[in-house]
A and B are shown apart, each in its own frame.
Chain A
Amino acid sequence: MAQPAKPQDRVNDFVIKFANVNGTGSASANALLMKSIFRMGVPVMGKNYFPSNIQGLPTWYEIRVTKDGYVARSGRVDLMVAMNVETYHKDVREVSPGGFLIYDSTWPRSTVLRREDIVILGVPFAKLCNENFIGVRNRILMKNVMYAGVLAALLEIDLEVIRQLLTESYAKKPALVDANMKAVQLGYDYARAHLPCPLPLRVERMDSTRGHIMIDGNTAAGLGAVYAGATVGPWYPITPSTSLMDAFKGFCQKLRVDPETGMNNYAVIQAEDELSAIGMVLGANWNGARAFTATSGPGISLMSEFIGLAYYAEVPAVIFDVQRVGPSTGMPTRTQQCDLMLCAYASHGDTKHVLLFPSDPEECFHMTVQAFDLAERLQTPVFVMSDLDIGMNDWMCPDLKWDDGYRPDRGKMLSKEEIEALPKFHRYLDTDDDAIPYRTLPGVSPKGAYFTRGSGHNQYGAYTEDSTEYQFVLDRLVRKFHRAGTLVPRPVIEGSGDRAVALVAVGSSHGAVHEAMDILARLGIGVDYMRIRAFPFGKEVVAFLESHHRVFVVEQNRDAQLRSLLTLETPVEKSKLRSILHYSGLPMTSKEIVEAVLAELGDAQRKAALG
């Protein structure tokens, strides 16, 4: 065997990738390892690349140990835990030169597992499991827990931290703590006896995760819906949004059962399809409850007819689009930002919608609350544009904070007294000259009654086919949309404002952009950055675009949808906007952004930048 490249010492800065078979319990083992590192005070990033399948197909998990707290993929793999024979050929190629690969050496090493520039380490997982555990299923599960022990030895992860986490996970089944710990210890001891422990890749205690949590965006959004006071959650299961309504329901089961009566202060309704789910959302919001649904691209396609009705009849609604790869069924378990255009103009006729772009779980929590306030303030559907990466992966983010002074903004909703004080109520009259009319709820007063319809109506709420009356309402709606631009979250702008290169991004691309900025800065290239947080864009977005000559729009879709929206909805000169596009279905890496920027800068600038 030739000498592998001498690995660099990489303390708290490396990537582990796990190649598993889905349905074998690997997810819990991987989560256990990530959480252990997090508990040791070291920032981590975790990404799950799983198949649209229940059992038997390849699945990967990536943990980036990142002392600098980066939240994007780095594109490297320093240690591959290759537990799936079917994908050996692929997995071995992916290891970065100087890296390591661990495989199950119960059987002779596959001829596929051969590379001169990496270190390949064998552990007889199956043999150890067969000798120590009873039952087929148990042996499969424990194999995964065992590699956690091997890694603990190789990377110097504290066994006590692992034990503590197992104790917390299995608080109700203490016997499982011992069984799992036995597997961890077996792996640990084997590695200590037979492998070069520790590796140059090591975990060293830090103090950088205090005041932080590891949470996925769907859970944070579900919690946000609880705090927003949502009571009705109609939905239809679809990956990757399912866990959002599951989280909402889970929190409600703990927090929303009346202690006196044992009855529920919420209703989660599993609908027969997305068409019905959004219909229920509209019915409930129209009737004064805060209601929302969670779906993904295919669901938005189905909901579009109702979304147009909500826009035109001015019914509030909150819709989560946890985006996945399209078109059509696409790749349901892979991530993209590919529904921007779909949601911005969902439904036939002239429609435009408010979109919010959370970039991490913390923002999922807060933007959920904002979405409900905006939907009721503006009486229109509001989309929270999350994606699979944010929604389903655990992200390290600051502890969520809640302001106890918060009260829901129910918008212009008239009380019984207010209705009865009016000479006459007209649903769509712009009384305050701010393009937002007043609404009334059923059951309050016969004087407030009106007929909600998707057919042509005038400002008094009556049916019309009169051109002038129809246009009058439609023109107010566009004024209302402009007004939305003053109420939605403003962009976050970083940098001095006068740099030659500007980056623009939304949502989960943020992590990669942020890291790319650091890399470019080290190369001497200063970058200004604007993270857009909402559509309509508002004047800050326009000002930023106007003040920069070369603007890179970073996004995760093929057709440059964010760039299209910017050119359609701002006066920016189209040629100024260059695209950096990523649409592989995996989360974006900083590398792609750095390379694209350098390529664009041209040789001279590049050389100058690189010194």
Chain B
Amino acid sequence: MSFINKPKVRHPDLPTNELGLTRRDYEGAMSTLCAGCGHDSVTSAIIEAIWGLSMRPEQLVKLSGIGCSSKTTAYFASGAHGFNGVHGRMPSVATGANAANKDLYYIGVSGDGDSLSIGFGQFAHSIRRNVNMLYVCENNGVYGLTKGQFSASADIGTKSKKGEENLQSPVDPCLAALSLGGTFIARSFSGDKEQLVPLIQAGLMHKGFAMIDIISPCVTFNDHAGSTKSYTFAREHYHEAVHADYVPPRQEIKASYAEGETLPVQMHDGSQIVLRKLDQDYDPTHRGKAFEYLRTKLRQGEHVTGLIFVSSSGPDMHEMARTTDVPLNQVPYEKLHPGSAGLAKILKRYA
């Protein structure tokens, strides 16, 4: 989306992944977002994550709606197909694309405006359907491209740049996803790459709908004092309750954890998420308790981050629809109809 071409100069010693590719091979076009925009940090975390997964770029499918957040998909993985749809309707395009080919990895990037207002219905129903995709919500509490109106995630009492106070209660994408049966629900902060990268990796590998709500401050319209989505506010009030490390299949758990404080979650492909609880009272595998924990912390003015809830059981959209292992876009035509002889048989009922 840029008017400037990125220089294709490559440092000879850049580290490579299992495919022999460097991080540069997972980059996209030059960002046209404002300098310091949280979304650019998210882009960089996505690049780090997919490089780390040694994913072939074309195995990834990038989808987005409309808004600043939705431009993000142009800024990473130029070797992957991207689909920038209409406002709030990315989930339906992702659902259709996924229905056509279950073998690819789908990453949808949306924002709080795109997901929680105009697209709230599609957001909710893609969770219900448990579409196998990673859904990233870059959440900054404002409409940036139209110059700073409150979005549906704006907290009560937060102030706009012009000093207006928001009085409506916010939509919390994590609480919404919990109540809708989401199977992988996380919150993070664009400034915390250490937390974000493994979450993105785990979310991509999770079978089913993985949602990461990323507080991603808008430097131009919502980074002032009085805002609850500013860098300063996020650093002070967003606290990790449970840290997730992603461990690929066939890889030993290397990090040393003190006994009793970790919880490994087995993924369908043999990988693991190792959860490290920073608050011993918290149980990220219990939907009701997770909900209650988030609500309690919110009442105390604290925003919980980390892998809030995960469940590796439960059928995804394809399992519910009992679709064949061969992606539907590759089933040979001969298998799809019974020919003229079959037609004659079918028509007997109508004669």
Which A residues form the contact surface with B (CB < 8 A)? 212-215, 219, 223, 226-227, 229, 231-232, 234, 251, 255-256, 258, 261-269, 271-273, 275-289, 291, 305-306, 309, 399-404, 407-408, 440-455, 463
- Residues of B at under 8 Å CB distance from A? 1, 56-59, 61, 63, 73-74, 78-86, 89, 91-101, 103-104, 121-122, 124-125, 129, 317-318, 321-325, 328-331, 333, 335-340, 342-344, 346-347, 350-351
B328 close to A231 (CB less than 8 A):
yes
Q: Closest approach, in angstroms, between the C-beta of B282 and any C-beta of chain A?
A: 32
B101 contacts which chain A residues (CB < 8 A)?
287-289, 442-443
Write 9 A-B pairs (CB below 8 A) sorted by A numbering.
A214-B350, A251-B346, A272-B124, A283-B92, A284-B329, A306-B89, A399-B344, A401-B340, A442-B101
CA distance A403 to B339 in the complex (A): 8
- 10 A-B pairs with least C-beta separation: A279-B92, A283-B96, A446-B79, A280-B96, A289-B100, A288-B329, A442-B81, A287-B100, A283-B97, A284-B96
Interface of B is mostly: helix
CA distance A449 to B25 in the complex (A): 13
A289 CA to B101 CA, complexed, in Å: 8
Q: Are A403 and B99 in contact (CB under 8 A)?
A: no
Check A226–B93 contact: CB distance below 8 A: no
Q: Which residue of A lies closest to B340 (CB)?
A: A402
Closest to B62 in A: A451
Q: Which of A256, A264, A289 interacts with B329 by CB under 8 Å?
A: A289
Closest chain B CB from A286 CB (angstroms): 6
**Given A291-B100, A449-B79: A265 and B331 within 8 A (CB)?**
yes
Which A-chain residue is minimally distant from B328 (CB atoms)?
A: A231
The answer to whether A229 and B125 touch across the interface, beta carbons within 8 angstroms, is no
Query: What B residues does A263 contact at CB under 8 A?
Result: 322-325
Q: Which of A276, A282, A449 interacts with B78 by CB under 8 Å? A: A449
Find chain A residues with CB under 8 A from B342 CB: 255
With a cutoff of 8 Å between Cβ atoms, the chain A residues found around residue B338 in the complex are 255
> In chain B, what residue has the closest Cβ to A463?
B1
Contact A453 B89 (CB under 8 A): no
Kindly list chain A residues whose C-beta atoms are within 8 Å of the C-beta of B104: 442-443
Cα distance A399–B351 when bound, in Å?
Answer: 8
- Are the CB atoms of B336 and A283 closer together than 8 Å? no
Instruction: Tell me the nearest residue of chain A to B93, going by C-beta.
Output: A283
Interface centre among B63, B125, B340 (most CB of A within 10 A): B340
Asked whether B343 lies within 8 Å of A286 as measured between CB atoms, the reply is no
> Inside 8 A of B325's CB, which chain A residues have their CB?
261, 263
Whether A215 pairs with B56 at a CB distance below 8 angstroms is: no
Across the two chains, which residue of chain B brings its CB closest to A226? B337
Partner of A231, one of B82, B83, B317, B331: B331
Residue of A nearest to B351 (CB): A213
Nearest CB of B to A27, in Å = 16
Closest beta carbon of chain B to A466's beta carbon, Å? 10
Instruction: Report yes or no: B100 in contact with A284, Cβ–Cβ below 8 A.
Output: yes
Which of A251, A276, A452 sits near B84, CB closer than 8 Å?
A452
Q: B336 touching A231 by the CB < 8 A rule?
A: yes
Query: What chain A residues lie within 8 Å of B86 (beta carbons)?
Result: 279, 305-306, 309, 454
The answer on a CB contact under 8 Å between B58 and A442 is yes
> Does A451 lie within 8 Å of B74, measured CB to CB?
yes
Bound-state Cα–Cα, A275 to B350, Å = 34
Q: Do residues B80 and A446 form an inter-chain contact, with CB atoms below 8 A?
A: yes
Q: Are A445 and B350 in contact (CB under 8 A)?
A: no
- Contact between B96 and A443, CB atoms less than 8 A apart: no
Contact partners of A453 in chain B: CB under 8 A: 82-84
A454 to B84, CA, bound (A): 7
B residues in contact with A258, CB < 8 Å? 324, 335
Contact between B337 and A449, CB atoms less than 8 A apart? no
| Minimum distance in angstroms from B317 CB to a CB of chain A | 8
Chain B contacts of A212 at CB under 8 A? 351
- Most-contacted residue by chain A among B58, B84, B100, B122 (CB, 10 A): B100
B58-A445 in contact (CB<8A): yes
Task: Give Cα A440–Cα B94 distance, bound, in whole angstroms.
Answer: 17
Give the distance in Å from the alpha carbon of A441 to the alpha carbon of B329 in the complex.
Answer: 10
Nearest CB of A to B28, in Å: 9
Report if A443-B61 is in contact (Cβ < 8 Å); known contacts: A231-B100, A279-B92: yes
| With A263-B323, A264-B321, A449-B79 as contacts: A288 and B346 at CB distance below 8 Å | no
Q: Which residues of chain B are near A266, meaning CB under 8 Å?
A: 323, 328
**Cα-based distance from A306 to B335 in the complex (angstroms):** 31
A272–B131 Cα gap in the complex (Å)? 14
CA A80 – CA B47 in complex, angstroms? Answer: 74
Q: Is the CB of A280 within 8 A of B324?
A: no
Given known A-B contacts A288-B100, A400-B347, A276 and B328 have beta carbons under 8 A apart: no
Chain B residues lying within 8 Å of A264, measured Cβ to Cβ, are 321-324
User: What residues on A are CB-neighbors of B124 within 8 Å?
Assistant: 272
* Complex Cα–Cα for A285 and B318 (A): 17
Residues of chain B contacted by A446 (CB below 8 angstroms): 56-58, 79-80
A273:B121 contact, CB within 8 angstroms: yes
Residues of A within 8 A of B58 (CB): 442-446, 448-449
A306 to B88, CA, bound (A): 11
